[in-house]
């Protein structure tokens, strides 16, 4: 009993977060036990004497090994995962495992998105067709000669064409591949919506990371309850977001994503090309662009003007969204094709 109690007190000291008052009370109890060889009964008396100093840490010790169950609500939530020390795990992995964002699947299904249960077979098949050329260009023979081939920007010419809808569904569809992982980044920093759509926390995010010298990638990346899918929210709004997205730190960030995680698809949901300058900057940092066009709504001159703003990307794929099969066009998936180079 004495050895077990010493072990518990030592754990409490580790958890005291540097609080001097808590440390004093715990150290007194530990010294009293070790020097006097007190029994469990006398230890309880010693702890009672220091109750005001130990405070909430005593309760923290009692649940040290408890597993916190996910909170099931109709809104997104977080599940806390207890640390399990493992010499094979990096500090990055340990940090990333601390919080799991629970996606609001009920709301996604209501809004017409893909879900874990794949309730809409037709939609599932659509995105199977859409993701295949992207995966081929990222990991197959198509990747040869493409810089940052696993980094994909989803954008449009104007708002309302369905870019965010398609970015989220692409991420969910690819995450369901057995051997693929996806990082979905909300880079529409002026009007972020991914966190809200998924029902998860929206900050800190990309903007906080870019303006800070202290935040790490793992501080803004959220694991989700869909294995293989991680999210980086946009974070707070910033008056100089364009400058942050074109900064050296952003270039280093995307280089690290491409080189450090070569087996991972990274999807950026960007602002529309004709609505904000950030999209033009982001297009220069990725290997592939999915250019979403609203069928029967987007003017041809808007499409042409937007395409002229795409810089650097080796592959630009057009996705005709909201297309009716009755249109006099070749229907394939969401009318998905590649823009050729002149």
Query: Does any domain span residue 290?
Result: yes
Q: Is the pTM above the cut of 0.85? A: no
Query: Does any domain span residue 182?
Result: yes
For the chain, what is the domain count?
A: 2
Answer yes or no: do 125 and 269 share one domain.
Answer: yes
Asked whether 334 and 320 are in contact (CB, 8 A), the reply is yes
Query: Does any domain span residue 59?
Result: no
Answer yes or no: do 4 and 137 share one domain.
Answer: no
pLDDT band of 28, cuts 50, 70, 90 = low
Answer yes or no: do 31 and 109 share one domain.
Answer: no
User: 153-163 b/e with 16+ CB inside 10 Å = b?
Assistant: bbbbbbbebbb
Query: What pLDDT is stored for residue 263 in this prediction?
Result: 86
Q: Is residue 227 pLDDT above 50, yes or no?
A: yes
Query: What pLDDT is stored for residue 47 in this prediction?
Result: 40
Query: What pLDDT is stored for residue 42 in this prediction?
Result: 44
Answer yes or no: do 262 and 185 share one domain.
Answer: yes
Query: Does any domain span residue 309?
Result: yes
Place of tokens 């493992």: 86
- What lies within 8 Å, CB to CB, of 135 at 6+ separation is 174, 177, 180, 265
289, 154, 254, 177 alpha-carbon torsion, rounded to 10° = -100
pLDDT for 93-130, tens place per residue? 434 445 689 999 999 999 999 998 877 899 999 999 99
Average confidence (pLDDT) over 232-237: 93
Query: Does any domain span residue 339?
Result: no
Answer yes or no: do 11 and 137 share one domain.
Answer: no
Query: Does any domain span residue 303?
Result: yes
Answer yes or no: do 292 and 180 share one domain.
Answer: yes
pLDDT for 260-304, tens place per residue? 888 899 999 999 999 988 999 999 999 999 999 998 888 999 999
Domain of residue 171: give its range: 102-321
- The domain that contains 112 carries what CATH number? 3.40.50.300
Query: Does any domain span residue 136?
Result: yes
Answer yes or no: do 312 and 178 share one domain.
Answer: yes
CA–CA–CA angle 308, 312, 313 (5° rounding): 90
Query: Does any domain span residue 288?
Result: yes
Nearest to 115 by CA among 199, 58, 17: 199
């Amino acid at each position: 009993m004495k050895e077990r109690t010493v072990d518990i007190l030592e754990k409490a000291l580790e958890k005291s977060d540097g609080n001097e008052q808590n440390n004093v009370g715990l150290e007194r109890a530990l010294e009293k036990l070790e020097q006097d060889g007190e029994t469990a009964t006398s230890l309880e008396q010693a702890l009672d004497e220091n109750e005001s100093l130990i405070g909430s840490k005593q309760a923290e010790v009692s649940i040290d090994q408890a597993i916190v169950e996910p909170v099931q609500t109709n809104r997104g939530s977080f599940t806390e995962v207890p640390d399990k020390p493992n010499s094979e795990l990096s500090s990055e992995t340990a940090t990333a495992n601390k919080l799991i964002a629970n996606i609001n699947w009920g709301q996604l299904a209501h809004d017409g998105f893909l879900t874990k249960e794949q309730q809409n077979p037709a939609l599932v098949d659509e995105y199977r067709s859409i993701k295949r050329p992207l995966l081929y260009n990222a990991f197959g023979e198509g990747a040869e000669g493409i810089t940052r081939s696993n980094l994909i920007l989803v954008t449009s010419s104007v708002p309302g064409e369905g870019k965010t809808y398609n970015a989220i569904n692409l991420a969910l569809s690819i995450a369901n591949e057995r051997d693929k992982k996806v990082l979905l980044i909300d880079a529409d920093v002026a009007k972020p919506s991914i966190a809200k759509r998924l029902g998860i926390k929206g900050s800190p995010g990309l903007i906080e990371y870019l303006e800070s010298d202290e935040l790490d990638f793992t501080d803004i990346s959220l694991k989700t309850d869909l294995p293989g899918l991680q999210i980086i929210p946009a974070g707070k709004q910033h008056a100089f977001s364009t400058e942050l997205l074109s900064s050296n730190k952003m270039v280093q960030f995307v280089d690290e994503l491409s080189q450090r995680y070569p087996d991972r698809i990274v999807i950026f949901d960007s602002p529309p090309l004709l609505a904000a300058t950030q999209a033009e900057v982001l297009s220069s940092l990725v290997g592939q662009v999915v250019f979403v066009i609203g069928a029967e709504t987007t003017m041809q001159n808007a499409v042409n003007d937007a395409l002229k703003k795409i810089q650097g990307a080796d592959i630009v794929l057009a996705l005709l969204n909201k297309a009716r099969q009755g249109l006099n066009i070749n229907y394939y998936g969401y009318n998905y094709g590649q823009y050729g180079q002149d």
